[in-house]
Amino acid sequence: MLYKNVGKKILFKMDPEKAHNVVIGGLGLAGKVPGMSGLLGAIYGVPAYAELATTLWGISFNNPIGLAAGLDKNAHAIDGFSNLGFGFMEVGTVTPKPQPGNEKPRSFRLPQDEALINRMGFNNVGIEELSENIAKTKNRKIPVVINIGKNKVTPNEEAEQDYRTCIRRLYAQADFFVVNISSPNTPDLRNLQHGNDLSNLLAAVVDEMNIQKEKHGDRGKPILVKIAPDLTDSELESTVQTILESGVSGIIASNTTISRDGLSHPNQKETGGLSGKPLTHKSTEVIRRIYELTEGKLPIIGSGGVFNAQDAYDKIKAGASLVEIYTSLIYEGPGVVKQINEGLIKLLKQDGFTHISEAIGAGVHGIR
């Protein structure tokens, strides 16, 4: 209630990008101040529910709710976010070289639609500074995922080198990686989701991961591919088949959408990727279709319009093993993580499940 009555009102009077920077700066500072981590954990932390704990790719997750990429682009606030109850978090998207992103303004709220539009354009500090920021993390409580992309000036035919560079430099610091080929804000990036471009890129990424696996003498790091919600069914079928054949570890569904269906706020005219409630159903249906196409054999992280426990549960029953939030954190505040997890416990009990794994794909007929 404190966030909605005070914090949200203050932040929503600011430019969205300025408010974003204030929050990241505050959480970054909170992670460094003695006692603040404990205070955040006491207020927003999520108890260790046995029903929600899971292991995927050999990685332990205390609960299935993660922070999507885009909020902590430069890994300034890992300590802070670690105390807000998340089961894991993504940082990035990071590119090999620093880049400023697109011209401002580039972030827009649509309060009536409980949505955001952004055209940030992979603004980030680059892999060297990101690596330094991660190294400064004092108390890494949850898995940290690094979302990687290509620089804007890198042509698609050379994109694989950018992704290789990110993996090579950040290998030791990531629990797993996400290959971002679905942002609508980098010209032609989404073309990498199709055909030979996709198969060649994923072959290069898997090859680089194997090189690093041998170099470090470990079991390797999982690689997931983040796809757009705007693929046609035939495009999705082709893309998923290529991903299956590539040997990567999973899919994140989905990124932001370029659709503007059903919006009422004037900011709907802004170009960029739309996130929030208008994406809730659309992303869930993409998850369901991926689960059907893969016969439940490839783990899915569900993302898009998750505002409450029912939204998250719907994605899990559609086939998601984990779920991410972003926009709901801005509209609902940090307490939403605890609310979703507590709600999931109740929903599992209502359906007679004793563990979250039993609900994965339970709403998809003919698979389980």
CA atoms within a 13 Å half-sphere pointing along the CA-CB vector of 53: 9
Smallest CA-to-CA distance from 330 within 278, 281, 276 is with 276
Non-local CB neighbours of 258 within 8 Å, separated by 6+ positions? 184, 230, 273, 274
SS3 142: coil
Q: Phi then psi for 257, rounded to 5 degrees?
A: -110, 155
* 8-state DSSP, 99: B
Beta strands in 8-139 (DSSP E): 54-56, 59-61, 65-67, 88-94, 107-110, 115-118
CA distances for 100 relative to 22, 97, 281, angstroms: 18, 10, 33
Catalytic residue among 37, 107, 183, 254: 183
Question: Both tokens of residue 338?
Answer: 């605890």
Q: Are 323 and 301 in contact (CB under 8 A)?
A: yes
Pairing of strands 300-303, 250-253: parallel
Active site residue 183: yes
Helices (H) and strands (E) in the chain, counts: 13, 13
Cα separation values, 137 from 75, 130, 140, 170, 279, Å = 9, 11, 6, 15, 33
Rounded CA-CA distance 317/305 in Å is: 15
Widest pairwise Cα distance in the chain: 54
| C-alpha triplet 199, 201, 203: angle, nearest 5° | 65
H or E segment and range at residue 169? helix 159-170
First-to-last alpha carbon distance for the chain, in angstroms, is 40
Catalytic positions: 183
